[in-house]
Structure 1
Amino acid sequence: MLNLSSLFKAGRDLSLAARIKLVSGVVLTLVGCTIFTLDLRNEISFQRDKLAQSLQYELDFLAQALTEPVITGDYAAVQQLLNKGVEQPAIHSIAWTDSENHLQIADTPQSDVVLTAPAWFAHWTNIPQYSENKDIIVGGENYGRLRVEIATTPAINQIWEKMLGKLCILLLGIGSLFALLGTLVSNGLRPLYVLQKAAHQFGQGDHALRIQASGPPEMQACIHAFNNMAANIERLLGSLRDSGSRNRLLAVIVEQSNVPIITVDLDGIITSWNTAASMLYGYGAEDVIGRPASMLYHPELVHEFKDNVARIQQAQPTTFEAHRRTRDGRLLHLSISVSPLYDENNRHIGEISISRDITRQKRAEEALDKEKERAQVTLASIADAVVTTDTDGNIDYLNPVAEKLLGWRTDEAYGRALGEIFQCVDEAGASIPSPIEQTLHQHQQIEVRGDALLVQRDGARLPIEHSAAPISDHEGEVIGMVLVFRDVSESHDMARQLSWQASHDALTSLVNRREFERRLETLIHSAHEQDRQHALLYMDLDQFKVVNDTCGHGAGDELLRQLSAVLNTRIRSADTLARLGGDEFGVLLADCPLNKAMEVAEALRESVADFRFAWQDKIFAIGVSIGVVPIVGQRENNTDVMGVADAACYAAKDKGRNQVQASPNTRELTQRRGEMLWVSRINSALEQNRFLLHYQRIVPVHGDDDGLHFEALLRMRDQDGNLVSPMSFIPAAERYNLMRGLDRRVVTLAFEECRKLGSMPSIMISINLSGDSLSDPTLLDFLKRQFAEFGVDPRGICFEVTETAAIANLELANILIRELKAMGCRFSLDDFGSGLSSFGYLKNLPVNYLKIDGSFVRDMARDPTDAAMVVAINNIGHVMGIKTIAEWVENQETLDALRSIGVDYAQGYLLGRPQPMETIRNEIMHATAAPQPLKSPSPESQREENLADETPIIPGF
């Protein structure tokens, strides 16, 4: 065991440089070890968190990705996804087990992951294998369990590599700092060793020794002090050797003094004058000794000389201030201390005076007075209130703004405690601690506080911002406090207004969607934490668009304002009514079970149904579809609850509108969520150009061929290149307002095909436009640009619009049809007969073709009612000079019936299935000039368009 006393003794024997280097080395080593240890622990913690987050992310991602294949039971797709998942470096294995214990596993080969760190390091990091299970639940049904295990070897290797690099950098840094510190210490202490050696030589009697100044400023100051001391001592010793008398020594001391010292006799005659006096007055000793001291007085103050002579004779010490004149005429302000002067026999022989030049001090005081005056003027001019106090918190000063805000004058408040006139409370009325105590006790500035209300002298309360700071003198001693505050009433009012605007709808003054979702989150949290029951109502107005289209948006805005006021009177004050956007509203019913919420929803529906909106000479009745969702104990988020409520509202619209619908069943909810998933797929397909067109032939029933006529039908390919059924994505596109983009893509693709046809025989292409596109005011300009860009002849294009879409957008549809017909385009009214007022609206639509709804055509050979509908539509069309097209012609019997009725054109599987334009182009090239007989499709064409066998053709898709 080491002997501590020996170590301490060895330490005392070390030089100062060695001690500094030793201590510095130990400190740098300890700091480096500490930093390295903390960095290592942080890196381990970071890798653990990263592994945990990676596990959760992969688990959530795989669970979502596996949803569709596990529902369909596509085990090959499941295995493919698992195999792709384990390709991630951090994943060790993935396993999925369905409800029938069918196990799918994907493992990372152990040879792919090598532990490059030492085994002891891997054991020391103590990073366990991370694994977690997650059930795949869709629509309340369990489709199996997913297990993911994360490999820790890459993380350990990464920690080891990072720590090795950081250790090298740390050792290099410590070594560099130690070397630099050693160099600085050696260079800094070198002048000290020189000074030590010189002091030793001076003590040995070498009084003429002087040292050349070097080293840092502090060391140079020590060397200068040593040289001055040596010079003074050498001078003093020389003087003592020369004089040998006490008077001579005193004369030398007086002469060497840097203070002006003057002696006069009893008559005021100058008897001695040292060098410092010569420097102050500009006179040499030979110029003044023997002359009266009045020569130094200001000409206007010579009369003071007699008073000074009388004072000298009284032999009393005193200090006073006086003005004296220098040789060059400058006027000095001096502080003079005088004492009687006695000889060796103790006889009063005169006076000795010591002068101190206070001219600069007096000028500074005058400047300070002026500065104080300017400060007071400034304080009186600024817009903030300023209060100053002494160290006890008693009032010294109030500027005019402070007097106005406090209601106290300065003379009334002077000397009073600050707490008597400055009292603040918060918005809840609780007293706010005095800034005096905080400032004076903490000796630091108190930051601005903006939630204070100043209680004025008359009791009124005023919102202010205030801050306080100590006042210190030049030595840093606190001598008081300054309090600054300002009236922030205007900014508070503006902040409240902005806060209100941020959380409310400007049109209806109801809560907006952002605030509604915040309150919804609060209710969800209380339902989960406190087992309370709440409800959400999602409301969508019916027939609101009719008011907007008929009377303009001003009328629609007024309708929303009036209806908001009606709805607000039908709910409790604790409930929340919000405008979520457009004509959609939301209601939050706090502490309300589902049955009661249904009653409230029904009452709201009746209120809307009874409401009549009058605008100019028109009166409108509207309805509302309401979806009701309970908010109960399970943990949900805003998106889930709002999505379910939206689905419930949509279900109410599907069932006829103006209804109340509780949260949809599992099948409906799964359908809505599936539609939401299709939104991203549709957008992705648009970005990646995975949409294409197939074309179905429209054939003359009576063989009078006037050219080839095809309808363009939209198809989509998935990521694997397979065709997707239109029924899979079209409902989602209609539901989530994607039809405009799809319609424009159809137009672009069709026009591009038309350009490729070039000199082919006369062909007409029918392109479908959705109701959403009909309401688009920019559609006409878009179509004109496409015609110009692709060079397509408008006479070869026929646009199809559904009857219901045309009726809903009658005015815009009329404008679009007339503009495009003027260019040469044709128009077809699709699904005719499905509307309620078909014949009445037909008079206002200048179309070229009527497409008889396929639901009447398909069974017309066996159903007399359907046949009568087809006859009626065909007759009214011919009377109006419009040609008719029958859809869904699937057998020869139906075709014969259409021929007998006199329908002009037919379209259906019997006459040809949708095909790519390339296939049609090849058929045209090999066709003869004579019209081809109508026949059923071949088995090859059925296989080519097997997608159409699964679902009926949607017009335009």
Structure 2
Amino acid sequence: MLTLLVTNSLRLTQESLVNQTRQRSEELNILFNGALGAPLAQRDYATLNEFLEDVRRDQGVVYMVLKDRSGQIVASAGWEANRVLPVPSHSLEVNKERDDRFDLAVPIKLAGQTYGTLSYGLSSKFLHDAQSHLLQQSLLIAAIEIFLSFVLLAGLGFWLTRHLGILTRATEAVAMGDFNMVLPVKSADEIGQLTQTFNLMSETIRGRIAALTENEAKFHAIADFTYGWESWIDPNGQLIWSNPSVERITGYTPQECMEMTNFPVNLVAESDAENVLHSFKMALQGGEGKNFEFQLRCKDGSIIWVVVFWQSIYGANRENKGIRASMLDISGRKQAELALVDALADLRRADEGRRLYLLSTEEERARLVALLGAMNMGILFVNADSKVKYYNPAFMRIWMISEETTLAGKSAEDVLKHSGNILARPDNFSKHVLSALEAHEVSDSFEIVMADGRVITQLSYPVRDNEGRFIGRLWIYEDVTRERQTAEQLIYLAERDSLTGLFNRRRFQDELSRLLADSDRHESHGALLFFDLDEFKYVNDTFGHRAGDAMLIRVAGEVGALVRRNEILSRLGGDEFALLMPDATEKEAETLAERIVRAISQIPFRFEGQNLRLTTSLGIAHYPKHAVAAEELVAHADAAMYQAKESGKNAWRSYRPDLDDSREMVSRLSWNDRIGRAFENNLLRLHFQGVYLTDTGELSHLEVLVRMVDEQDESRLVMPGHFIPFAEKSGKILDIDRWVLRESIKLLSKSASIPSLAVNISGRSFDEPTLPHYIAEQLSIFNVRSSRLWVELTETSAISDLQDAERFIEALRQTGCHTCLDDFGTGFSSFAYLKHLKADVLKIDGLFIRDLPNDRDNQVFVKSIVDVARGLGKKTVAEFVENAETLEMLKRLGVDMVQGYHLDKPRGDHPAILAGMP
């Protein structure tokens, strides 16, 4: 009320002062019209300015601005000329920009005619001073009134609440948990009534607490000892209570569970986490999930199956208190269910399997009948009573039984009565059949020879049921006549020289070993004859390989007609032949040698209109007179052949040790032993020389070269030119070839970063049809890609035995290896051989490279080789590149690859090998 009174006083005072201000403004308006009308009409601006200044000083006017009827300012006081005049107020409102004046305007009239307008600001300071003074007096009065009211209320309150202290202390005791407090009632007023009410409330609370304690004990008795795992989760997803069963089920204590975040979702197995999280969120939003099963990870890491029931919890006012989660461990039931599901699935699969089995049995029977009908082997099945149950068409064909004849149900003994075959040895066949029938076991393969020369194999298999009872017998017949003929032909090809039909080097070695063994066993004698054709290389180079082949065939035929059935004539390779004479005396060997030399010299040989005369040089070595070992016998026969050549050729000689003291003969024999010891003592070494791409200078591959460590001085290496010729003569070159191949492939297997390797193979290897298989086998054993191995063959060796070389190269190509024809250009009609020798690379002989920049003919020849090779899709390699000038010319001629001392020298520790090693 005081506030209303003060506010109303201020309002009335303000209204009074505003009315006074309005009256004064009206008075001033009359004054301004009377004083300013005439000077303004007369345009006496000096008088006007003087008047405005006087009025402004004396009448409490803040500013005055006089405008004529055109709006131009003609006089002013207290106002800057450039400022915009405020909008005049018609209700005496204080200027919002400044609250110390009223902005007014009055038209200046004279005799009813308006001459201008006066804008002025009337000071409102007196109004503010009055309001401030009145407000100060009102606030002082209000402060005194409030103070007196506070003193009066404090005294009254103390009087009214003097008995509440006891009640306050009792309330504090109740708040501390003492519900046994009883207060005395000292008055009958409101305080006394409040005291009685407090005593009643305290008694009620004691009863409620006792009941709550009893209910809590019952709750814990039920919740703590229930079999299931009970939890209470607040609306934010935080666990706030869990019974002790959680530790029995999961291994985590209730306290550990409440400290976890996102419990129990964080314990769910990954496979069920997404579904459980979705169900958990739905439950927190008021939904319910019944019998939701998932897998839970326990504290020990094990996985169990649980079933959960989410149930929302609401307070007395239906406010959401969270959810109750009831969980049970159902691992045992789940395992039983899964076992039951598996069992049902097994039953379904078994049922489906039986159905499919019946179907597949029918299909299998149809396939079996079709298979047996399409087989080339004859099938005959007889039951335990020897009655025919089944036979296929092949059986009828093999035994030449008419297709119209029905054998089913007939006795097995009567079957062959319908056959058109005639057995060569029926007694043996009958004995075999009887023994097989009596044994009730699998019989051995038995060959039945027919009178027409056919060979049929027979096998017998007893047939038993699931319980092992004998229910019949299966007879299998196969006509192997063609296979036997093919096998015999393969054996013939493996042991024979493809050009002459004579035994090859491999069969010669076998027969030589057999001859020596038989001679030792029976203490008999033998002889070995070695011979080759004189000047054969000249004939081959001059007239071509066709002439040479024809000459070799003719010689083989003539000499073959002179040997006896127990004597073995072999072609060792090229123009070299060997003849083994078991049980031969020296006289018999010499007689045959004379006949061979004479027969060859008398062969009339004419080729393309030219007569050619052949001669031979032959050497004889007797066993055991001249040697007791195979290698030694071969070496002495070879030495005797050279003794015949030294005597003028077209002659024969028996081995004479006294003539074998020349350096060449001694070297030939000693080198054989040295090569043998090199293998025994591991004295062979590999060296490598790089082969580079001509255009880029990058390494293409490495050529493998063999060296031998000197027995006397291990720091010195023996170059291959010293021992390879003797190895070729003695046949040890084959062992060297295989050693180099194996060691090279073994080296390649150590790292895929090692460059490809090129290995030289001797011409003697053409007589070894198993060498390509050996290469493929080594590549497989060491798991090396075949494209990383290059095999180089000399052209001269290849064209001396073109058919063997062609077959050998094709076998190498089948293994996947690259093939290179070395020393290309040295043979006669080299280009013509390329259509037969399918080599990938041609290595131009160094003879054409050494002086290439200065030899015009060699340049033309090399260019021709490059052009032909490129046209046939082959690469070219130039060896013996020993200066930059030669290298530059080879680039211009288009050679693909180069090697030589200018680029790289052979060495055992080649940088490319070391860089590629792991």
> Structure 1 length normalisation: TM-score?
0.33
Q: TM-score, normalised by structure 2?
A: 0.35
Asked which structure has the greater CA Rg, the reply is 2
